[in-house]
């Protein structure tokens, strides 16, 4: 028997405090009790996001959060630039195309981070864009884009353009400072670094994004203006996922208790530990600028990544494989959820075991020793 473990970049394992909150009796959402929990969770979420207020909680996955942010702030038919450097960047390009925006897609080789010079070049050719769409942590390739730099360049060259950022796996994992960096939309979800089950999206908009959105009201379920009015009162327009909100409230306590900067540091340290240990097993890092949310690793020469993913699965451990073109070469374990240094060591030990089974000549404990060393030094 193996203990089932979720070691993929979402959904992640959630803490027992969250499971306990999820198991409580269902409360009616039009009550003072719910109102109190909801307002409390919203305030904590704003604290985690390092914004003054008004993070909206939607009952949906992260994708709907991004859809809502785009539709609320950019007029249909407007021109947007989408940074397409992996599966999620590609999703935002497709989303914008589906709604009839004029989309300029900045295509990057998978595994590469945005090169500011290339971005400057492209923005100079398209000074009329209404928004720039980017992912922060591109989970499909393991790249953390330098959103601070991207926003700086965009603010200079296209000052009118809004900067809409997919922070689904960066919130609670990588340094993220929406106000200091001048971001206009931060979108995230519950099932990643926030250690809550899937089902909630989070959306924060800057003042100037709200100002632009005043003239637009293109959606029904995802009407952010209506949500803002309701959520300030501790209510939602439609029935919220009450149990998930209770779970979120508990998860946020744990993250805020640890302190957001400590959470960033812990996840980065553990992720680097996995990457460094895997390198000692001939698994090269896939991302040129690693996101702390996921260890994107290449299978050693001669091995197929899906066999490695299956090897983990046989041992009860769910990691992610590569998507699309990266499928044959990429595998992606992650300590994004409720995980500590010993979980990182377990991933490394299982990787050794799996690679041995696939015929690699590895002495027992080789990568575990590397991991222990990294942990001791950092």
Ligand X SMILES: *Cc1c(COP(=O)(O)O)cnc(C)c1O
Owner of token pair 């299982």: 350
CA proximity to 275, closest of 142, 87, 163: 142
| CB-nearer residue toward ligand X: 44 or 192 | 192
> Considering only residues 49, 105, 134, 139, which one is a binding residue for ligand X as defined by CB under 6 A?
139
CA proximity to 111, closest of 82, 149, 92, 139: 139
CB atoms within 10 A of CB 156: 10
CB of 125 to ligand X, least distance (A): 27
Please check whether residue 62 is in contact with residue 88, taking contact to mean a CB–CB distance below 8 angstroms. no
CB of 140 to ligand X, least distance (A): 7
| Residue 23 to residue 44: CA distance in whole angstroms | 21
- Applying CB under 6 A, which part among 166-174, 238-246, 296-304, 331-339 lies near ligand X? 166-174
- Applying CB under 6 A, which part among 44-52, 56-64, 265-273, 350-358 lies near ligand X? 56-64
CB of 262 to ligand X, least distance (A): 22
| Residue 232 to residue 246: CA distance in whole angstroms | 18
Query: How buried is residue 325: exposed, middle or buried, by Cβ count under 10 Å (0-12/13-18/19+)?
Result: exposed
Residues near ligand X (CB under 6 A), total: 13
Task: State yes or no: residue 333 binds ligand X (CB under 6 A).
Answer: no
Residues 76-135 that bind ligand X (CB under 6 A): 88, 135
- Applying CB under 6 A, which part among 100-108, 161-169, 218-226, 260-268 lies near ligand X? 161-169
In the 8-state DSSP scheme, what is residue 290? B
> Considering only residues 132, 144, 151, 168, which one is a binding residue for ligand X as defined by CB under 6 A?
168
CB of 10 to ligand X, least distance (A): 5
Cis peptide before 260 (omega within 30 of 0): no
| CB-nearer residue toward ligand X: 34 or 264 | 264
| CB-nearer residue toward ligand X: 151 or 281 | 151
Task: State yes or no: residue 61 binds ligand X (CB under 6 A).
Answer: yes
CB of 81 to ligand X, least distance (A): 18
> Considering only residues 17, 35, 47, 63, which one is a binding residue for ligand X as defined by CB under 6 A?
63
| CB-nearer residue toward ligand X: 84 or 139 | 139
| CB-nearer residue toward ligand X: 95 or 252 | 95
Residues 4-43 that bind ligand X (CB under 6 A): 10
Task: State yes or no: residue 166 binds ligand X (CB under 6 A).
Answer: yes
Report in angstroms the alpha-carbon separations of 298 from 279, 286, 313, 328, 370: 9, 6, 17, 9, 18
CB of 187 to ligand X, least distance (A): 8
| CB-nearer residue toward ligand X: 90 or 184 | 90
Rounded to an integer, what is the distance from CA 163 to the centroid of its chain? 17
| CB-nearer residue toward ligand X: 62 or 78 | 62
| Residue 73 to residue 18: CA distance in whole angstroms | 33
Task: State yes or no: residue 189 binds ligand X (CB under 6 A).
Answer: yes
Task: State yes or no: residue 62 binds ligand X (CB under 6 A).
Answer: yes
| CB-nearer residue toward ligand X: 191 or 273 | 191
| CB-nearer residue toward ligand X: 63 or 226 | 63
Bridging pattern class, strands 131-135 and 102-107 = unpaired
In the 8-state DSSP scheme, what is residue 236? -
- Beta-carbon-side half-sphere exposure of residue 238 (alpha carbons within 13 Å): 9
Report in angstroms the alpha-carbon separations of 2 from 217, 319, 336, 355: 51, 15, 21, 18
SS3 string, 175-235, reads CCCHHHHCCCEEEEECCCCCCCCCCEEEEEECHHHHHHHCCCCCCCCCCHHHHHHHHHCCC
> Considering only residues 141, 169, 206, 213, which one is a binding residue for ligand X as defined by CB under 6 A?
169
| Residue 246 to residue 2: CA distance in whole angstroms | 30
In the complex, which residues of this chain contact ligand X (CB under 6 A)?
10, 61-63, 88, 135, 137, 139, 166, 168-169, 189, 192
């Amino acid at each position: 028997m193996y203990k089932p473990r979720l070691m993929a970049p979402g959904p992640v394992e959630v803490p027992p405090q969250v499971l306990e909150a999820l198991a409580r009796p269902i409360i009616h959402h039009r009550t003072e009790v719910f109102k109190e929990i909801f307002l409390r969770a919203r305030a904590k979420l704003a604290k985690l996001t390092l914004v003054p207020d008004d993070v909206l909680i939607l009952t949906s996955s992260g994708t709907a959060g991004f859809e809502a942010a785009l539709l609320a702030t950019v007029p249909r038919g407007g021109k947007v630039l989408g940074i397409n450097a992996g599966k999620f960047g590609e999703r935002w390009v497709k989303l914008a195309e589906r709604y009839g925006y004029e989309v300029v897609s900045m295509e990057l080789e998978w595994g590469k981070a945005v090169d500011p010079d290339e971005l400057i070049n492209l923005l100079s050719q398209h000074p009329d864009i209404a928004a720039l769409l980017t992912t922060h942590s591109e989970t499909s390739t393991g790249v953390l884009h330098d959103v601070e730099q991207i926003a700086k360049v965009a603010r200079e060259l296209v000052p009118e353009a809004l900067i809409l950022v997919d922070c689904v796996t960066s919130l609670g994992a990588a340094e993220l400072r929406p106000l200091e960096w001048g971001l206009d939309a931060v979108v995230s979800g519950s099932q990643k670094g926030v250690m809550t089950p899937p089902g909630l999206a989070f959306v924060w908009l800057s003042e100037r994004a709200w100002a632009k959105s005043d003239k637009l009201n293109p959606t029904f379920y995802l009407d952010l203006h209506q949500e803002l009015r309701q959520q300030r009162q501790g209510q939602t327009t439609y029935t919220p996922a009450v149990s998930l909100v209770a779970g979120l409230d508990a998860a946020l306590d744990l993250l805020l208790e640890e302190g957001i900067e400590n959470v960033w540091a812990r996840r980065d340290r553990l992720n680097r530990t996995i990457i460094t240990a895997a390198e000692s097993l001939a698994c090269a890092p896939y991302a040129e600028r690693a996101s702390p949310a996921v260890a994107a690793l290449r299978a050693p020469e001669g091995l197929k990544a899906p066999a490695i993913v299956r090897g983990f699965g046989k041992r009860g451990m769910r990691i992610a494989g590569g998507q699309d073109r990266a499928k044959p070469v990429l595998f992606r374990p992650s300590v994004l959820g409720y995980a500590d240094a010993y979980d990182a060591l377990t991933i490394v030990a299982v990787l050794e075991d799996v690679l041995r089974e696939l015929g690699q000549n590895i002495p027992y404990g080789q990568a575990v020793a590397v991991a222990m060393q990294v942990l001791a030094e950092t």
